[in-house]
A and B are shown apart, each in its own frame.
Chain A
Amino acid sequence: MWNQGKYGEASMAGYTQSPGGFGSPAASQGGDKKGRTRAQQIVPCTVSQLMSAVQAEDVFKVGEVEIAQVTIVGVIRNTDKSTINIQYKVDDMTAAPMDVKQWIDTEDMGVDNSVIPPGSYVKVSGNLRSFQNNRSLVAFSVRVLEDMNEVTSHMLEVVNAHMQQSKPQSMMGGGAGTNMMPTAQTSMSSTGSYSGASMMLVNGLSANQNQVLSLIKSCHEPQGISMQDLKQKLSSMSVTVIRYTPPLGRVS
C-alpha cells in the first residue's frame, strides 16, 4: 500500500511515478488531459497551503497544484477520542493547528487505535475536507515519527513538490524551455538528459546544489575538485549538504 514506516517513502509521493496502482499513467503528469484527470498523487503540504487552497466544486488547488490526498508533518497539540474516531489538532508551525480526524476501525484488531499523546511529532496522510468553511484532514494514517529528520525531509519535499508541479508542461519533455527557477543557473540547461524516474528536472536543483555543480564543472583538473576545495569555496554550506548533492548525471 503506502509503504508506511519506511523512511523516505514520501520521496516517491507527489510524483506520478508512484508505485500505487491507481491507474494514473504519465498522462496526468503532463496535465494535457485536464478534463477528468484527478490528482492521483499524495502531495506533501503545509497546513497553511491546505487552509489557503482554493476549492472549485470538489477539487482543491494550491496554486497550480491539485490536491486531494496530502501529507503533513507536525506536532500534536490536542487529542479527543470518542468511540468512533480520534480527533487531533496538528501544528506544523505554518498556521494554527489543523483538525485531523481518524476513524477508528473497531473490527480490525491489527490496527493500533491508541491515542498518540500531545507533544508527539507525527506524519499525517489523508484527504482534505471542507465543511462549512472549516478545513480538516480525514486521515488514513497518523504515524509517530521515529526519525526526526523526517521533519527536515518533509520541509524539502513540500517545496519540491509544489515547485515541480508549478512548472510549465514543456519541462517534462526534457526540452530546455524557459528557465522559471529564480536560482537555477543557466549552465544547468545544457545537461538536457531527463533520467526517467529521477526527481531531478533540469531546473529542479536547489540553489545550494546548483552552486556545488557549477563549482565542480568549473574545475578543469583531471582529478576533479576536492571536498576541501568545495568546502572552502562554499563556506556557508555544511559538508553534509555538499555530500548530499544527488547524482547530477555526467559531470566529468
Chain B
Amino acid sequence: MTGVYESPKPRINASMLSQYIGRPVCFVGRLEKVHPSGKALTLSDGEGKSASVELSEPLDEELSGIVEVIGMVSNKGTVMAVSYTQYREDKISFDLELYNEGLKVLHDFPQHYPFEIWKD
C-alpha cells in the first residue's frame, strides 16, 4: 500500500477514528496489548482511549512503550497498519497527554498545519 506513504496522514486520536474511515492516518499511542498471533495490537491514546491496530505481518520484534502507526482506518474503526515506529524513550520519556493536546491544536488550526497541499 505504497499510496499511504505518499498521502497526507493526519495525526488523530481514538475519538477521531470514526471520522477518518477509509483514509490514511497517523496514530500514536501507548502499547497496551499484543495479540498472541502478533498481528494485532491495542494502543491507548493520550486521553486513555483505546484503538485496535491490525498489522499486515506478525510482529517480529519486541515492542513496548509509545508506538506510532501509519495506516488506513477500516469500517470497524481499526487501523490497518502499513508501518509502525517505536518512539525512543531511552533518554527522555514521551508525554503522550501533551501530544494529545498538541494534536487538538492541529485540528483547531488546519490553516496553519495543513494535512494537504494547496495548489492554485
Binding site for B on A (CB under 8 A): 46, 48-49, 51-52, 54, 63, 75, 77, 91, 93-97, 119, 121, 145-149, 151-153, 155-156, 158-159, 162-163, 166, 183, 206-208, 237-238, 240-241, 244
A151 close to B109 (CB less than 8 A): no
A96 close to B101 (CB less than 8 A): no
Question: Which DSSP category, helix, strand, loop or mixed, fits chain B's interface?
Answer: loop
Least Cβ–Cβ distance between B3 and chain A, in angstroms: 10
A221–B119 Cα gap in the complex (Å)? 54
B106 close to A147 (CB less than 8 A): no
Residues of A within 8 A of B9 (CB): 93
B108 to A, closest residue via Cβ: A207
B117 close to A148 (CB less than 8 A): no
A150–B87 Cα gap in the complex (Å)? 11
Binding site for A on B (CB under 8 A): 5-11, 26, 46, 66, 70, 85, 87-89, 91-92, 94-95, 97-106, 108-109, 111-120
**Interface-central residue, A63, A148, A183, A237, by most chain B CB under 10 Å:** A148
Residues of B within 8 A of A155 (CB): 11, 102-103, 105-106, 113
B95 close to A149 (CB less than 8 A): yes
B112 close to A148 (CB less than 8 A): no
Given A48-B117, A206-B105, decide whether A240 and B95 contact each other with a Cβ distance below 8 A. Answer: yes
Given A52-B118, A207-B108, decide whether A146 and B92 contact each other with a Cβ distance below 8 A. Answer: yes
**Interface-central residue, A146, A152, A156, A166, by most chain B CB under 10 Å:** A152
A148–B98 Cα gap in the complex (Å)? 12
Residues of B within 8 A of A207 (CB): 105, 108
B114 close to A52 (CB less than 8 A): yes
A148 close to B114 (CB less than 8 A): no
B114 close to A149 (CB less than 8 A): no
Known: A207-B108, A238-B100. 13 other contacts (CB 8 A): A46-B114, A93-B8, A94-B116, A95-B8, A96-B7, A97-B6, A148-B88, A148-B94, A149-B94, A156-B102, A159-B112, A159-B113, A163-B112
B97 close to A241 (CB less than 8 A): yes
Instruction: Please give me the 10 A-B residue pairs with the lowest Cβ-Cβ distance, nearest first.
Output: A238-B97, A162-B112, A96-B6, A147-B92, A52-B118, A148-B87, A152-B102, A93-B9, A159-B112, A148-B94
A75 to B, closest residue via Cβ: B85
